């Protein structure tokens, strides 16, 4: 597959594979079905509206033939994404169901104009053989998660997947005013870990990171409102910038899942591939949110079309054959490189541990010194081989460090090499930045009461902490602080969930004021000796009670069988605390859940 980054997503998967076969896939007749709840906030049936005003969300299903174009009014061209949009698509080739694609975009709770993005899929594609060779079936599987800005550019992105058994990774991170892209290409039998490609762009630089994100951006920005031609730079093969032409047509009325809606047809021309550009365009149909609901490639039998459910996208009763493939969404499996073109038998081959004989300590110290010199040269030259040299040094350092522990001279020498490696390459610093991004995600999960998300990010933090970059490194202390903060957030999240589920029925508050006269004995020192004075004073006592679960409670008292403490009683509500978490409860005659 050469230098395809595999993240040209559902369209790029077809493009990079070079699938140029016969006629388009036959289409199934339309059928009715239930609407997708989260995909149509308006809940309007366009068939019941006048055509000039109709522009509902496209609902999933099988496509009907294109009807005569009906222009969509400009003011209805787009719709803001205010709720989660969950999209399932099936992949067909030559009329046969061959896989699925799943895309979900959700507004982030508590963060205005931020979105969580999920893109995953699993499919088989058959490409013709070259020079009379038999056709070859290629298996793709992938999963991508990202946090998007208000312009649908990735603040951070992590992706991994399998291409015919060989693994790849994709990462995007934002550092100050730079967006940094790292793509690890699929490996080979001889080189299990593929080539690492790096690129960086200014944050404000206009460049599309994937076709799907590009259409979300263009639709929400209003660029698809009128027919015409758009040229836009994209991240292409080799993590380089390429230009793509988008030919936008007038909106057409199409039917998906028995519902008629306007969609915009866009043809992507001069699409990049390993060998240059594809000789035929790719056609996509985009709804008013900016999501792709259908995609076909001219002259070939591949087609993607939106579906109502995951079951339909995955084939219903006609499940995809396993073909010995690993689970594409199981993290350990997805991250383990295997030889390209070979079958994964499930064997967990591990690299043998490095062993250094005592008499070779001096030789290895000298080798470490040379590696640091090579590393510095590679980094200055921008050579991607610096990563391999750095990882090889860490491997030797971890074995050698305990062996020289009793020799201060050698310890200082070896620790100096490690400090130089971090100064030059900064591997530990990179992991810390990644950890900080995970911690930011934990804060978002905490605000959304998503304990599973907190636990998953905490797990990834601990995995980072175990990496060799932090062995005998000062950054380890920073990682420990991050993990401690994450563990505290997990405890807070669990406490919030428990507090949410407490049965607290507040049916009233009572305030009582008691006024009494009390005698006060004052001891005064007056010239000539002490004097005692008894004086009557007025004392005002304000007493407040809350009626919770049909019982009276005062402030700082614990609600029976709930473990919740009433911190403050107010005229129309109370403030309660539980394991450090605080919640306001209003005066209602119902359970607060």
For position 280, what pLDDT does the model report? 46
Pairing status of strand 292-297 against strand 96-107: unpaired
Residue 12, pLDDT score: 41
SS3 216: helix
The predicted pLDDT at position 281 comes to 57
**DSSP result, 306-343:** EESSHHHHHTTTSPPP-TT---TT-HHHHHS---TTS-
pLDDT (tens digit per residue) in 122-154: 888 776 666 666 777 778 888 899 999 888 888
pLDDT band at 403 (very low <50, low <70, confident <90, very high): very high
Q: What is the mean pLDDT of residues 491-515?
A: 86
Contacts of 319 (CB under 8 A, 6+ apart): none
pLDDT digits (tens, 9 = 90+) for 264-317: 999 887 665 543 334 445 889 999 889 999 988 755 567 888 998 888 888 764
Q: Where are the domains of the chain?
A: 9-318, 358-425, 428-500, 506-586
182: left (phi over 0), alpha (psi -120 to 50) or beta: beta
Question: What's residue 128's pLDDT?
Answer: 65
Residues 6+ apart with CB under 8 A from 551: 559, 560
- pLDDT value at residue 15: 37
CA dist., res. 369 & res. 416, Å (int): 9
Structure tokens at 452: 């599973």
From residue 425, give the alpha-carbon distance in Å to each of 386, 433, 469, 470: 8, 14, 11, 14
Q: Which of 219, 188, 192 is nearest to 81 (CA)?
A: 219
d(CA 293, CA 303): 11
Q: Taking the complete model, does pTM exceed 0.75, yes or no?
A: no
The stretch 227-235 carries a mean pLDDT of: 85
What is the structure's pLDDT at 430?
84
CB 157 within 8 A of CB 174: no
Sign (positive/negative) of CA torsion 144, 150, 153, 156? negative
Query: What digits encode the pLDDT tens for the residues 49-106?
Result: 333 333 333 343 444 444 444 444 443 566 778 888 889 998 888 778 888 999 999 8
172, 146 Cβ separation under 8 angstroms:
yes
């Amino acid at each position: 597959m050469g230098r395809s980054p595999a993240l040209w997503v559902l369209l790029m998967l077809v493009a990079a594979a070079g699938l140029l076969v016969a006629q388009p896939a036959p289409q199934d007749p339309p059928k009715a079905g239930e609407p997708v709840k989260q995909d149509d906030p308006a809940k309007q049936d366009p068939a019941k509206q006048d055509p000039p005003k109709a522009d509902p969300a496209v609902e999933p299903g099988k496509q009907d033939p294109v009807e005569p174009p009906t222009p969509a009014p400009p003011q209805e061209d787009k719709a803001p994404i205010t709720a989660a949009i969950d999209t399932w698509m099936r992949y067909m080739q030559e009329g046969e169901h061959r896989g699925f694609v799943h895309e979900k975009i959700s507004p982030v709770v508590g963060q205005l104009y931020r979105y969580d993005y999920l893109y995953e899929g699993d499919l088989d594609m058959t490409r013709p053989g070259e020079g009379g060779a038999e056709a070859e079936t290629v298996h793709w599987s992938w999963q991508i998660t990202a946090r998007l800005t208000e312009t649908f550019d990735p603040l951070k992105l992590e992706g991994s997947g399998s291409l015919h058994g060989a693994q790849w990774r994709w990462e995007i991170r934002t550092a100050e005013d730079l967006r940094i892209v790292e793509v690890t290409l699929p490996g080979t039998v001889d080189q299990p870990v593929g080539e690492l490609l790096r690129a960086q762009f200014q944050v404000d630089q206009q460049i599309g990171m994937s076709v799907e994100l590009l259409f979300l951006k263009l639709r929400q920005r209003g660029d698809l409102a009128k027919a015409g031609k758009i040229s836009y730079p994209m991240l292409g093969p080799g993590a380089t910038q390429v230009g793509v032409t988008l030919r936008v047509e007038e909106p057409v009325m199409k039917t998906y899942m028995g519902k008629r809606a306007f969609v915009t047809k866009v043809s992507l021309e001069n699409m990049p591939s390993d060998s240059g550009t594809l000789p035929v365009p790719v056609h996509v149909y985009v709804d008013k949110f900016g999501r792709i609901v259908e995609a076909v490639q001219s002259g070939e039998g591949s087609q993607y079309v939106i579906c109502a459910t995951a079951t339909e996208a995955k084939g219903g009763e006609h499940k995809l054959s396993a073909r010995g493939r690993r689970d594409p969404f199981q993290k350990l499996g997805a991250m383990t490189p295997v030889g390209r073109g070979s079958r994964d038998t499930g064997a967990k081959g591990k690299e043998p541990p490095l062993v250094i004989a005592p008499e070779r300590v001096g030789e290895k110290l000298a080798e470490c010194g040379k590696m640091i010199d090579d590393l510095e040269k590679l980094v200055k030259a921008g050579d991607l081989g610096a990563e391999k040299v750095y990882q090889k040094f860490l491997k030797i350092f971890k074995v050698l460090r305990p062996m020289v522990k009793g020799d201060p001279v050698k310890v200082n020498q070896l620790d100096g090499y490690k400090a130089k490696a971090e100064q030059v390459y900064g591997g530990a610093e990179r992991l810390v930045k990644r950890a900080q991004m995970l911690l930011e995600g934990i804060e978002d999960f905490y605000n959304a009461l998503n304990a599973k998300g907190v636990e998953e990010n905490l797990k990834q933090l601990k995995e980072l902490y175990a990496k060799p970059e932090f062995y005998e490194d000062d950054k380890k202390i920073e990682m420990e602080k991050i993990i401690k903060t994450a563990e505290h957030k997990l405890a807070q999240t669990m406490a919030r969930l428990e507090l949410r589920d407490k049965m607290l029925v507040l049916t009233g508050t009572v305030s009582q004021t008691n006024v009494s006269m009390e005698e006060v004995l004052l001891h005064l020192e007056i010239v000539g000796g002490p004097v005692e004075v008894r004086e009557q004073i007025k004392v005002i006592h304000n007493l407040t009670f809350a009626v919770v679960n049909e019982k009276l409670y005062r402030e700082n008292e614990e609600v029976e069988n709930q473990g919740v403490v009433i911190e403050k009683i107010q005229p129309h509500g109370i403030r309660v605390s539980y394991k450090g978490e605080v919640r306001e409860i209003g005066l209602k005659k119902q359970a607060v859940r």
